[in-house]
Every structure is written in structure tokens, then in C-alpha cells.
Structure 1
Amino acid sequence: MPRPSMKLERREEILKAYETCIALYGVEGATQKRIAEEAEIARPLLRHHVGNNDELLIEVVKRYTDRCRTSMLEFAAYPFTDQDELLAVLFLDNSDLTTATDTMIATNLIVVAQTHAPIKELMKSWFDDVHQSFELVLSKLYPNAPKDIVTTVATGLIGIYFNLDALFPIKNNDKNFQKSSYGAAKLLLGSLENEGEL
């Protein structure tokens, strides 16, 4: 019988491999064969360490959303001093908030969520956390802005931010697109500086 720590380590390797396969091939294309190859283990060991396909998918969604939740909590707690610092973190600094791979995983999981109720609930909770984190950051930076305007701007900012990552595979190193995304976000934030009027 393997030591528990080795089993946990192997499980983590499998879930990480599954995430990589989802990012590259989508959920449908993330076959057990590909996952096993990515994790460098024998295919029958997938079930032994994680379970059947559905259990494996639920586990990878939980792993992904837990990781994102931690990142969003750190983002919301960061003491931003002005909009330029916030924009730099979101669009210029290549921070660890999310990566293009994370965005591809999210995009593929959102597709699956349309027909898979448990995943839909997990992804909805994930997005609610993202939205609340953005709202909290904006509320601290613009304490006089009305809540409904903060909510609207947070929604737009999230859209711009994730769009930039989602288009990374075809817009990689496109500085004009990055600059335009930054500019669009700055315009949105400007509405909060003017007492929240859009």
C-alpha cells in the first residue's frame, strides 16, 4: 500500500495534467489517454487515484476554482493606492492573478457547465467570487461611487481583463491590443472618478 503522501502527490499530478489537457484540447478532448500521458502514469491508475471520469472532472473544477478563489482573495486584499496601480496589475505587470492557461480552462469549463449542473454551480460560485473581488477593490479605491455604478464598472473591467487573456493565443505579444484594453479599462475607471457617473 503506497504512503498517503505519495497518493496525494500523484492525485495532484493527475489533476494538474487534466487541467493542462482541458486548456489544450477542451473537456471533450481531454481523454484519459492524454491525461495519463501528461501525468506520465499508466491509464488504469487514473481511476485508482481520482475516480471515474465524472469524479475526475468535478475534482479538477474544485481544484481550479479553489486556486482562483485564493488568488481573488489576495487581489481584493491588496492595498491599491490609485487606478494606475490597479491597471498595471491587471494589464501590464503579467501578475499571477490569472494566466492565459487559466482563462482557457475557465472558458472550456463554462462550456461544459451548460449541460452539467454540479459544474454550473461551481463555476457560478467562481464567477461570483471574481465579481465580488473586483467590486471590493473598486469600492475601496472609489468610496464615494454609488454601488450600482461600481457593480457596472466591475463587470466591464472583468470583461476586458478576461477578453485580453482569452485572445492571448491569437494576440500574443500584440502590444496595441494590450494598450487598447488598458485604455478601455481606464475610461471605465474614469467614470468612477467623476462621482460614479457613466
Structure 2
Amino acid sequence: MGRPSKKEERTEEILDAFYRCVARYGLDGSTLERVAEESGLKRSLVRHFVGNREALESLLVDRVLEQSLQQWRGFIDALPARNRCDHLLQGLFSDQYSDAEYILVIESLIFSSARDKVLRLRMQEWMQRFTDDITLILKSDHPKSADQDLEAVSFGLISLYFNLDSLAPLGLNQRYRQPACIAAQHLLNSLTTN
């Protein structure tokens, strides 16, 4: 297998730079000028390799959602058959799996979806898949719990998860990691066992 073409290599570099910019400045604040500066390329080269701004956004959304799905599927596949909720909390709230930059990018995409119908639909689908998967994990450990309780706890866990790493720019996510995990455990404890 040959090495990647210069276009593929440059496209990846540009996407990496755009990702960092979106985490730092949001989607709207991540101008082609900032992306060019972050990537170390001229703006004209950024456009040459990835096209216009809409093409760059589309490539980023594809990449972020695909990587998210692969990582999430890998995490779910690694969960044990029993006591899955304990491992779920560890995955959502431990330092080991924390990625504040990723959360900031996802939140920026969610925020920007208010004015972009296609992005909104993609982010809704992504969020629903995440919520449904967590609800199924909860149900496996708490099969007698009502569906509405499982869905409420699932949403609560997701809310805690996103909020925690969104505090990274304030330097507060480490301070609130343990309280967030305790709050998540309280939510889990509200479910019927067995």
C-alpha cells in the first residue's frame, strides 16, 4: 500500500487545525484565516485542498461524527455483560476518557445546528443514538425500571457528561469531576434494581 497523497495528508492537517479552532473559537469564529494560521498553510492552499467553508464544515462534521461513533461502539463492545452501569459511569466521568476539546467541538456543532437544518438533523440523530444506547445499558442492569425512568436517567447522565467537560475553558472540570460522578450515581440509584 502506498503512502497517502499530498492532498490527503494536507486535508487531514487542515481538518486537525479546523477541529482545534472550533474547540477554541466555535464554528462561527473558526474563519479560514484562523484555520490557515493554525495549519501553517496559506488560506489559498486551505481552499485548494478542502474547498470552500461549507465543504470544510461538512468534512469536519463527517469526521467528528464518524470518530465519535467508532469510539462509542468500541466502548459499548468492551462493556462487561453484568454491572454495565458501573463501567458506564467510569467511562463517562473518569479522567482517562475525558476529552474536553471533543466536547467543545460537539457543543459548537449542536449550537450551530440551530441555523442549519441538515446539521441539525445529523446532530439530532447522533444525540438520539447516544441516548438510546445509554438507555439500553441502563435497562440491562435495571430491567424492571419503567422506560420513562430509564430515559430520564439517561438524559441526566448525558447532561452531566456534557456539562462537566464544557467547564474546561473555565478550568473547573477537574474540580467538578467527582461531584458529577456522585450525582450520576444518585441518578442510577433511583432506578429499580433487578
Q: TM (normalized to structure 1)? A: 0.87
| 1:107 positional shift | 1.4
Match of residue 182 from structure 1: 181
Q: Secondary structure at the match of 2:174?
A: coil
Shift of 1:99: 1.0
Unaligned runs of 5+ in 1: none
**Cα separation, 1, equivalents of 2:174 and 2:123:** 29
Stretch moving more, 69-78 or 100-109: 69-78
Matching of residues 63-82 of structure 1 within 5 Å: 63-80=63-80, 81-82=82-83
Equivalent pair of 1:76/1:136 in contact (CA under 8 Å): no
8 Å contact kept, 1:7–1:49: yes
Partner residue, 1:128: 128
- In structure 2, the partner of 1:37 is 37
Between the aligned partners of 1:93 and 1:178, the Cα distance in structure 2 is 8
Pairs aligned (count): 189
**2: CA distance between counterparts of 1:75 and 1:146?**
25
Is 1:6 aligned to residue 6 of structure 2?
yes
CA 1:40 to 1:134, structure 2 compared with 1: closer, same or farther past 3 Å? same
Question: Which deviations, in whole Å up to 9, do the C-alpha atoms of 1:15-50 show, x marking residues without a partner?
Answer: 111111011011121111110121122211112111
**How many Å separate the matches in 1 of 2:38 and 2:119?**
23
Residue 60 of structure 1 aligns with an amino acid whose one-letter code is: L
Q: Contact 1:11–1:50 at 8 Å: present in 2 too?
A: yes
What amino acid sits opposite 1:13 in the alignment? Answer: E
- Structure 2: unaligned runs, 5 residues or longer: none
Is residue 2:177 matched to residue 1:163?
Answer: no
Give the Å deviation of 1:4: 5.8
Give the TM-score, by structure 2 length: 0.88
State the partner residue of 2:90. Answer: 88
Q: Which amino acid aligns with 1:136?
A: L
Equivalent residue number for residue 151 of structure 1 = 151
After the TM superposition, which parts of structure 1 deviate over 6 Å for at least 4 consecutive aligned residues? none
